[in-house]
Structure 1
Amino acid sequence: MDKAEQDAKALKAQAKEAARDVSDKARRAAEEASDALDEARSRGAELLDSARGKGAELAEAAREKGAEYVEAARERGSDYAHRARAEVDRLYREGSRRAGDAAHYAEDYYDDVSDLVRRKPAQALGIAAGVGFLIGLILASRR
């Protein structure tokens, strides 16, 4: 074999060795990339599960707060209703008392007017006629 053939064989062997090295390195890089991808998927799934858990916790906390607010509103509403009833009762009693006082005063004035009419019937009739005439004028002018 001559020198050129030996050099060609040596170059061929070196090329095969270099191809094997490149192939091994590419295979290792692909395996590392695959491992990294699997790890990223796993971490993403963990993060998703964690986010779901946190979301559920937040939703539960919001429900609890909402229930607290509803209960507080009911209590305040009940308190306001109780206060309103008490005020209505107080106003009713006050109105009844004042209506009684007005009725009492009306009876007293009725008795006084009745006595006046009995003592001076002509004067009472004149006053009543004058008041009636004035009321008639007022009502006629409104039309």
Structure 2
Amino acid sequence: MTNQDSTGDLKAEARRAAQDAAREARRAGEEAAEALDTAKQRGAELYENVRDKGAEFVDTARKRGAEYVDQARNRGQEYAGQARDEARRLYREGERRAGEVAGYAEDYYDDLSGMVRRNPGQALGIAAGVGFLLGLIIARR
């Protein structure tokens, strides 16, 4: 074998090795590109899934919030109606009792004015004593 033959063989072998390395690099690049595309697709799918779940969560929260608002409004109206009814009942009861007290006051006034007419001196003495006591109490303050 000659030097030229061995050099040519080495060159050919280096060329083949370079071509093999280039093919391997191309194949590895293609695999990496496929893996990247797959990862992109998975990421897009995950993004869509998360976005859909988030929208679903917001929609559910909005619906529940509206339900709670409606329930609170209904309860508020119910309680307001009950409070109105109770206030009316108390007002009517107060009017009735005020009428009773007015009746009693008229009876006592009639009795007292009859007593004052029968005993004017005694009534005047009692009134003066009560006025004196009230004056002392007020003066101490």
Deviation by residue 1:32-68 (Cα, 9 ceiling, x = unmatched): 1111111111211121112111111111111101100
Stretches of structure 1 that go unaligned for 5 or more consecutive residues are none
Structure-1 residue corresponding to 2:91: 92
Q: Give the C-alpha shift of residue 6 in structure 1.
A: 1.7
- State the distance in 1 between where 2:94 and 2:17 align: 112
- State the distance in 2 between where 1:139 and 1:3 align: 144
Mapping of residues 33-48 of structure 1, within 5 Å: 33-48=32-47
Amino acid in the other structure paired with 1:114: S
Stretches of structure 2 that go unaligned for 5 or more consecutive residues are none
Amino acid in the other structure paired with 2:80: A
Structure-2 residue corresponding to 1:28: 27
Secondary structure of 1:94's match?
Answer: helix
Structure-2 residue corresponding to 1:6: 5
Structure-1 residue corresponding to 2:60: 61
Q: How much is the aligned-residue C-alpha RMSD, in angstroms?
A: 1.1
Amino acid in the other structure paired with 1:131: V
- State the distance in 1 between where 2:77 and 2:63 align: 21
After superposing on structure 2, the runs of 4+ consecutive aligned residues of structure 1 that deviate more than 3 Å are none
Number of residues paired by the alignment? 141
Q: Give the C-alpha shift of residue 5 in structure 1.
A: 2.2
Amino acid in the other structure paired with 1:113: L
Structure-2 residue corresponding to 1:135: 134
Deviation by residue 1:96-117 (Cα, 9 ceiling, x = unmatched): 1111111111011111101111
Are positions 1:119 and 2:87 aligned together? no
- State the distance in 2 between where 1:12 and 1:131 align: 140
Q: Give the C-alpha shift of residue 4 in structure 1.
A: 2.5
